[in-house]
Every structure is written in C-alpha cells, then in structure tokens.
Amino acid sequence: MDYPTGLTNYGPVESRENPVKLHLSLCAGIALAGLGIATSGAALGAPGGPNGELLFRQRCSMCHSAVASRQVPLGPNLAGVVGRKAAATTFAYSSALKQSGLTWTRANLDRYLTGPARMVPGTKMAVVVPNPAERSALVDYLAAAR
C-alpha cells in the first residue's frame, strides 16, 4: 500500500525510507506497553488524571502491597494505611518513623510522598512523588485499599 511520505499504517515517521526507525519506535512502544510503564500523566488513566492503582503497581509494588493478606519483605503493607499510626504494623520500621508520632492522614501521606526524608529524617523510605496529581491519585488509591 502506498502512503504519503512521512506516514505508514503505523502512523507518522521521519521517513518511509528508514524502516529501522519505525521498527525501533514500534519495539519501544510495545515494550513500554508490555511493562505497563506510562510515559505521561495522561497515559496513567482516564482523561481526568492519573490512575492511582497503576501508579502504585509501577512505583510502589516492588516494596509494598496494598492487599491485606500479602506481605512484601522490603516495605510495610499499606492496606488500611489511611488513619493508621505510623510504624504500627509488624514491619521493621526505622527508629525515626517509630518515634515520629505520625498518623497517616491523607495530608500526611501527601506531604510524606513529597519528600519522605524531609518529613521524617532517618526514614528508610526513599521514593519521592513530585507530581501533585500523581500523589493525589496514589493517596486516593491507598485510602480505598483495605
């Protein structure tokens, strides 16, 4: 099938004469889709904003679970975290978090995810979520995880 220059049935490309670029673009897109890696906030969920469950799977599930019956050895289980006292489960928390006196409200979780070490110096948590919409989606997801 003939396509106008710069287009294929896969969409725009720089040149019809460069099938390697097309192949690499397709492979990269398939790999990203297969791994569930989103490249922008719009790709993370409905047009209204990021998807908290997807963000959790991408950024948090290596260390945490939000399913009450599932434990992950690297981080505490986060099912029911909203409203819970910090360091209240059987996980081996840092002494800094144990002594923080925090209760995980939505506001405290948002602040913590903005900079865990700034909020609780000495915490083991290293992941930062700088995007406010993504933090909000994560907190919403955690609030629903029981």
Domain encompassing residue 97: 51-144
Q: What is the DSSP string of 44-89?
A: GSSTTS--HHHHHHHHTTTT---STT--BTTB---TT-TTPBTT-S
Closest CA to 104 of 79, 127, 124, 121: 79
CA distance 14 to 57: 34
Give the contacts of 96 (CB within 8 A, at least 6 positions apart).
120, 121, 122, 123
Domain assignment present for 41? no
Domain assignment present for 110? yes
Domain assignment present for 72? yes
Q: What is the CATH number of the domain that holds 69?
A: 1.10.760.10
Domain assignment present for 45? no
Tokens (6 digits) for 113: 């995810």
Domain assignment present for 64? yes
Strand partners, 12: 7
Question: What is the predicted pLDDT for the residue at 46?
Answer: 55
> Which contiguous run of DSSP H or E holds residue 11?
strand 11-12
Reported as a single tens digit per residue, the pLDDT across 37-87 is 444 444 345 567 999 999 999 999 999 999 998 988 899 999 999 999 999
Predicted TM-score (pTM) above 0.75: no
CA distance 144 to 146: 6
Reported as a single tens digit per residue, the pLDDT across 81-133 is 999 999 999 999 999 999 999 999 999 999 999 999 999 999 999 999 999 99
Are residue 94 and residue 63 in the same domain, yes or no? yes
Number of domains in the chain: 2
> Which contiguous run of DSSP H or E holds residue 12?
strand 11-12
Are residue 63 and residue 133 in the same domain, yes or no? yes
**8 A C-beta contact, residue 79 and residue 67:** yes
